[in-house]
């Protein structure tokens, strides 16, 4: 299956970000902690090459704790400020203010020498669809400022949000890039829900997830669904369908319904904390390191 999704509004959003970047001191890039590299848009690296960068590994509560630690260490070694957080429960939010001030320390010092005091740090919040940008902004601000949703493409335009006297945020729509050079990246994005399910074959997607879980997290499927993992991915999906009552007329397993159930259990964390990629097995990694202050 070919994984690709690039609706027209993303081209407009990218143009908008290019126009606004001159107003920005730092880019806060949200990534999904389950796929921290595959959920990074290489276009954002290009846009932000002369700006301070902060990487937020959001939805860390859904990711393998050891995986989060490995990725934080990996990104910091490349010169990024990196923080793992769960913006829904505010875990990790307290550290962000300090990290932003540190990332913009040179800019703040330049302002001070010019006699410019207390100018708020202007941060652009960027990332691909469905990584939780709007939820992060609302939690950080302590009020509902941005629309939220559990589907990609909720934010369509930009909006400035004044958090306090120290920070202003520019919310931007989620953007993917026009073509995934490595389809493994597309697969991982599809698994976490950053590509609309309506254009995907969810049964194939579920089989890919089963294959991965059998290898990386053996015993997890058996524990959750009381199924045998020794068989083929199709056999496992068959057992999940029967065990969870996903049956069509004529007593045939409803693979589409069982696939949707499995994907929902993974995305919501009901299967446990799972990381789909680690620093040592990541395709298509951007070699560029973090940019400095403009």
How many whole angstroms separate alpha carbon 250 and alpha carbon 36? Answer: 43
Is 242 annotated in a binding site? The answer is no
* Of 224, 252, 218, 221, residue with least CA distance to 238: 252
For residues 272 and 257, the answer to whether their CB atoms sit within 8 Å is: no
Is 166 annotated in a binding site? The answer is no
Is 257 annotated in a binding site? The answer is no
- Cβ neighbours, 10 Å, residue 247: 14
* Residue 243 Cα distances to 160, 214, 217, 238, 255, angstroms: 49, 18, 20, 9, 12
Is 193 annotated in a binding site? The answer is no
Is 174 annotated in a binding site? The answer is yes
Sequential DSSP letters for 240-263: HHHHTT-B-TTS-B-HHHHHHHHH
Is 134 annotated in a binding site? The answer is yes
How many whole angstroms separate alpha carbon 231 and alpha carbon 204? Answer: 16
Is 61 annotated in a binding site? The answer is yes
| Strand, helix or coil for residue 159 | strand
* Residue 272 Cα distances to 63, 213, 241, 268, angstroms: 8, 11, 20, 9
User: What is the Cα 154 distance to its own chain's centre?
Assistant: 14
Binding site listing for GTP: 58-61, 130-135, 174
Binding site listing: 58-61, 130-135, 174
């Amino acid at each position: 299956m070919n994984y690709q999704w690039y609706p027209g509004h993303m081209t407009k959003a990218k143009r908008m970000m290019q126009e606004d970047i001159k107003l920005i001191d730092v880019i806060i890039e949200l990534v999904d902690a389950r796929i921290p590299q595959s959920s990074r848009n290489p276009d954002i690296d290009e846009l932000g090459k002369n700006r301070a960068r902060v990487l937020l590994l959001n939805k860390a509560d859904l990711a393998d704790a050891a995986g989060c630690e490995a990725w934080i260490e990996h990104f910091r070694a490349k010169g990024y400020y990196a923080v793992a957080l769960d913006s829904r429960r505010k875990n990790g939010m307290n550290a962000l203010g300090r990290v932003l001030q540190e990332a913009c320390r040179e800019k703040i010092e330049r302002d001070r020498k010019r006699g410019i005091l207390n100018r708020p740090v202007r941060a652009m919040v960027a990332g691909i669809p469905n990584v939780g940008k709007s939820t992060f902004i609302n939690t950080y601000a302590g009020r509902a400022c941005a629309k939220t949703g559990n589907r990609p493409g909720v934010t369509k335009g930009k909006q400035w949000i004044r958090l306090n006297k120290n920070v202003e945020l520019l919310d931007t729509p989620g953007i993917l890039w026009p073509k995934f050079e490595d389809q493994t990246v597309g697969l991982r994005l599809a698994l976490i829900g950053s590509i609309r399910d309506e254009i995907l074959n969810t049964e194939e997607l579920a089989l890919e997830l089963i294959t991965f879980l059998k290898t990386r997290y053996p015993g997890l499927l058996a524990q959750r669904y009381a199924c045998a993992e020794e068989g083929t991915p199709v056999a496992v999906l068959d057992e999940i369908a029967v065990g969870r009552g996903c049956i069509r007329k004529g007593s045939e397993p409803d693979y589409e319904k069982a696939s949707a159930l499995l994907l929902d259990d993974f995305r919501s964390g009901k299967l446990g904390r799972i990381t789909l990629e680690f620093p040592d097995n990541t395709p298509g990694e951007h070699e560029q390191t973090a940019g400095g202050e403009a």
